[in-house]
Amino acid sequence: MDRTQKRWLWVSLGFSAVVLVAVLYFTVDADTIAYLRQLNPLWLLLALITHLIALVFWALRIKFMSRSLGYRVGLLYSINLVCANMLVAAVTPSQAGGEPVRVHELYKAGVKLGDATAIVITERILDGIVLGIGGAFFMFVLGSEWQRIGSAFSYLMYISWIVISVIVVLFIYSVKNPDLLKRIVHTTSRLFTRTWEGRRIERFALSIDREVDNFHHTLVDFLRHGKGGLVYGLVFTALFWICEFIIVSFLLIGLSQPPIIVESLIIQLVIAVVMMIPLTPGGSGIAEIMFTSLYGIFVTSSVLGILVVLWRSILFYFNILLGLIASLLIVRREAQEPD
């Protein structure tokens, strides 16, 4: 980890710690001590194990998607790849910043760079599809249960679902029509190249077209020859998110509280979407604030502070620990490789 990454890691940890301290300050009372005395560590252990199982599902997604393209990537290697990815995600804006690590590690495992990039990008699209379908299910199937959580919360869910759906649809359409993706990238790039000279802008535009064409050909090849991997990828993506979403329910049971499974799944879906927006390193601070605000509707304040600390300990601080260990293993491996 270089100096810049270390600085952002401390910033990320700092954001999270400050918000957690503030939440505890406003929620801890005499009843909190009573709940802590009733704490059942077996449910906390189950929550941690569930998170580890989710990471295994993520690794299986990478393994099977790679296999569908003719590559053999071991499960243990994939698990280490996923863990190393989480460290980078914790120091970059949003939690979706570990893609370069996954591409690099797949390339080291013998996957061609174009195929590795296609696998990683398709992973994010599968996340969007699963979250989008989940949002549609909650909005249109649950009916009165959905309305019970409040109009402001519902609007946030609607907006999140629309954003995910639009991104997925645009991506799918751009695979068939790369000119659309070129226009989007060109329009976006103009915001940053207004002060450039004409010849430099022209060269930059040509490079965009070349990279978009390469990206298009790689994805089309993946969709043609890796359809089985897409099916496995979709299944493991769904299993990954289900495991991550039920962790809070296990923590609530451990704190002698009802699990509020349906409401919790909806809240976790909203948080997962917002955490992908590049606001703070690793989504730190934002995650704690959203969790406290949304779960505060259903959970007593005496438990709320402890709940958010336990949740972030598993899904953020524990991830950083795993990421550090995985990164050290990668550094040791590359140090042993011949020049």
pLDDT digits (tens, 9 = 90+) for 65-80: 988 888 899 999 999 9
Q: Is the pLDDT of residue 184 over 70?
A: no
Tell me the two tokens of residue 211.
Answer: 């990279």
pLDDT at res. 272: 76
Query: Looking up tokens 């140090």, which residue turns up?
Result: 335
- Do 259 and 45 contact (CB within 8 A), yes or no? no
Query: Looking up tokens 């509280």, which residue turns up?
Result: 257
Domain that holds residue 65: 39-336
| HEC letters along 197-252 | CHHHHHHHHHHHHHHHHHHHHHHHHHHHHCHHHHHHHHHHHHHHHHHHHHHHHHHH
For residue 24, being part of any structural domain is answered with: no
Q: Is the pLDDT of residue 192 over 60?
A: no
pLDDT at res. 201: 59
CA distance 301 to 270: 21
34-45 pLDDT, tens per residue? 777 778 889 999
For residue 268, being part of any structural domain is answered with: yes
The domain total for the chain is 1
* Percentage of residues of the chain with pLDDT beyond 90: 13
Can you give the pTM of this predicted structure? Answer: 0.81
Q: Report DSSP letters for 150-166, one per residue.
A: -HHHHHHHHHHHHHHHH
In the predicted model, what is the mean pLDDT of residues 314-334? 86
CA distance 226 to 69: 5
For residue 33, being part of any structural domain is answered with: no
Using CA atoms, how far residue 190 sits from 186, 187, 208, in Å, is 6, 5, 12
Binning pLDDT at 50, 70 and 90, where does residue 335 land? confident
Name 94's bridge partners.
281
For residue 286, being part of any structural domain is answered with: yes
pLDDT at res. 148: 57
**Which segment, 186-195, 287-296, 299-308, 314-323, is predicted with the most confidence on average?**
314-323
Q: Decide which of 299 and 195 is more confident.
A: 299
Of the candidates 290, 304, 23, 19, the residue with the CA atom closest to the CA atom of residue 157: 290
Q: Is the pLDDT of residue 1 over 60?
A: no
Binning pLDDT at 50, 70 and 90, where does residue 212 land? low
For residue 270, being part of any structural domain is answered with: yes
Binning pLDDT at 50, 70 and 90, where does residue 46 land? very high
pLDDT at res. 34: 73
96-153 pLDDT, tens per residue? 557 788 888 898 888 887 788 888 888 888 888 887 777 777 666 665 555 555 555 5
In the predicted model, what is the mean pLDDT of residues 168-190? 68
For residue 19, being part of any structural domain is answered with: no
Q: Is the pLDDT of residue 64 over 80?
A: yes
Name 93's bridge partners.
281
Burial state string for 28-50 with b = 16 or more CB within 10 A and e = fewer than 16: beeebeebeeeeeeebbebbbeb
For residue 72, being part of any structural domain is answered with: yes
For residue 12, being part of any structural domain is answered with: no
> Which of 145-149, 179-183, 203-207, 246-250 is the least confident region?
145-149
237-283 pLDDT, tens per residue? 999 999 998 999 999 898 888 887 777 777 787 777 777 665 565 56
Coil, helix or strand at residue 195: coil
